[in-house]
Amino acid sequence: MFKIPRIIVYVLMIGGCIALIPPLVFARMRATPSPNRPIHIFWDMDFQPKFKAQAPNPLFADGRAMRPPVQGSVARGESYVDTHMFEGVVDGQWATALPTSMKLDQATLERGQQRFNIYCSACHGYSGYGDGAVNQRAMELVSNVNGPVNGTQWVAAKSLHDETTRHQPMGQLFNTITHGIRNMAGYGAQISVTDRWAIAAYVKALQFSQDAGSSGAKVAGAAN
Amino acid sequence: MSRFLFPRWSNALLPFVLVVGAIAPLYMTLLVAYGFSPKTLDGQYQPEQPVPYSHALHAGKLGLDCRYCHSTVENAAHAAVPPTQTCMNCHTQIHKDSPKLEKVRESYATGMPIEWIKVHKLGDYAYFNHAAHVTRGVSCVECHGRVDQMEVVHRAQPLAMGWCLDCHRNAVDHVRPPEEVFNLSKPTDSWTKDQRLELIKRYDLHPNDNCSTCHR
């Protein structure tokens, strides 16, 4: 038997070890988040000369492929003639009921509750007392011992059961949701018109429910 | 001219060469299958975003609903990433001088969009629809993982065709009541298999695997 030279044995051993490296690299790639993926080996038709929603387009100065609507354009199905539906105003007064195309029923109130919990409860709290998580955190930031953090200014989100807010007609609530008020931003862009009315109706029901003993409780009962 | 002769010791290597020769093709095949799989090439993509926005803070700690920002997710194929205005609902006041929000204020003042980097992206030849899933009881957590615990969003799933089909062919393991879709903290197995079968029947769910469903 002839002896295999040392050098050959070493080369083979090193080769065996090197063969282990790629699987380890791949295992690591699977397990750790990294900013350098995804890697496209075959491009197929992954990148087509077309624009998907919210994609960039360098041809426009603002880089948006989706063009913002021209000021004053009216969306299909919307009209500004119906002031009740779109502004909450009837004959120059705040509307006190839902627009005629909507029904005040269980489904509307449930929709209103769901939307209220998504968009409003963060500040106003689930039952409307102004105790939402964002409001609480903001109050902490303002009353920090070393002064407000990063210049935070915060006006407490109003309790919806205040004397001033409790008696507001539905149309006024609709207007507040659409355009905001003082320190509260408007939600017209985020919430559809019918959902805004549903929220307004739900807020009324919530106010009546927290106003035990008043004649309002009966109205809310009737609404259900 | 002297002929080259293999040295005697190379005979001892012969069995070894045979073993390696047998293993090498297997090794290469497995390596390509493992290494070129979307799980490796796309897995856990986590780009650095222009603004250090944290889902763990906003969606987790502050408890904001996904729909507060991704407001189209129930109605459209595309889940819109929110415009600057949405951030400014709060940040005109909260942390209003924070250096971390510099880009947001700049975008608000100039009207130029913040250039968020897209994390989840299918090939342009594939069609995906959020509304079709979210309204039928497939939760965000099935496809995006615990976003409400991520400081920076990363891909939790490979988004490969095989992955889509795994669920389409076996949807019963992945559905929940539609009103619980946005509750990421509840795992899908908190509903029993029977309850989930019941949901499949009640909502008549038939996710299909025809090519034209996703390649149209």
- Exposure on the CB side of residue A61, measured as CA atoms within 13 A: 2
CA distance A102 to A93: 19
Tokens of A13: 């051993």
Interface of A with B in 107-126 (CB under 8 A): 117-119, 122
Most B CBs within 10 Å: which of A150, A155, A176, A181, as the mutation test of the B interface? A150
- Measured CA angle at B69 (ends B64, B75), to 5 deg: 115
For B9, nearest residue in chain A (alpha carbons): A2
CA distance B70 to B119: 15
ipTM over 0.85: no
For B78, nearest residue in chain A (alpha carbons): A53
Contacts of residue A97, Cβ cutoff 8 Å, sequence gap at least 6: A104, A170
List the domain range (segments joined by +) for residue A183. 83-222
- Judge residue A143's burial from the number of C-beta atoms within 10 Å of its C-beta, 0-12 exposed, 13-18 middle, 19 or more buried: exposed
User: Mean pLDDT across the stretch A106-113?
Assistant: 88
Q: Could you tell me where the beta strands, DSSP code E, fall in B86-211?
A: none
Contact across the interface for A62 and B88, Cβ inside 8 Å: no
User: Mean pLDDT across the stretch A183-199?
Assistant: 88
Q: Is A184 a domain residue?
A: yes
Tell me whether A183 touches chain B (CB under 8 Å): yes
Radius of gyration from C-alpha coordinates of chain B: 25
Contact across the interface for B124 and A48, Cβ inside 8 Å: yes
With 60 as the cut, is the pLDDT of residue A214 above it?
A: no
Q: Is A156 a domain residue?
A: yes
Split at pLDDT 50, 70, 90, the class of B144 is very high
Which residues of chain A make contact with B7, given a CB cutoff of 8 A? 2
Tally of domains in chain A: 1
Q: Is A188 a domain residue?
A: yes
B158 min Cα distance to partner chain A (Å): 10
Give the pLDDT of residue A181: 85
Q: Is A162 a domain residue?
A: yes
Considering Cα of A182, then A183, then A188, then A193, what sign does the dihedral take? negative
Tell me whether A30 touches chain B (CB under 8 Å): yes
CATH number at residue A213: 1.10.760.10
Residue at A83: amino acid letter: T
Contact across the interface for B41 and A39, Cβ inside 8 Å: yes
The residue with greater pLDDT, A198 or A128, is: A198
- The answer to whether the predicted template modeling score (pTM) of the entire model surpasses 0.80 is yes
Split at pLDDT 50, 70, 90, the class of A212 is low
Question: Would you list the domain boundaries of chain B?
Answer: 74-81+120-214
Mean pLDDT (chain A) is: 82
Looking at the partner chain, which of B92, B111, B124 has a beta carbon nearest the beta carbon of A45? B124
pLDDT digits (tens, 9 = 90+) for A35-48: 887 888 888 888 88
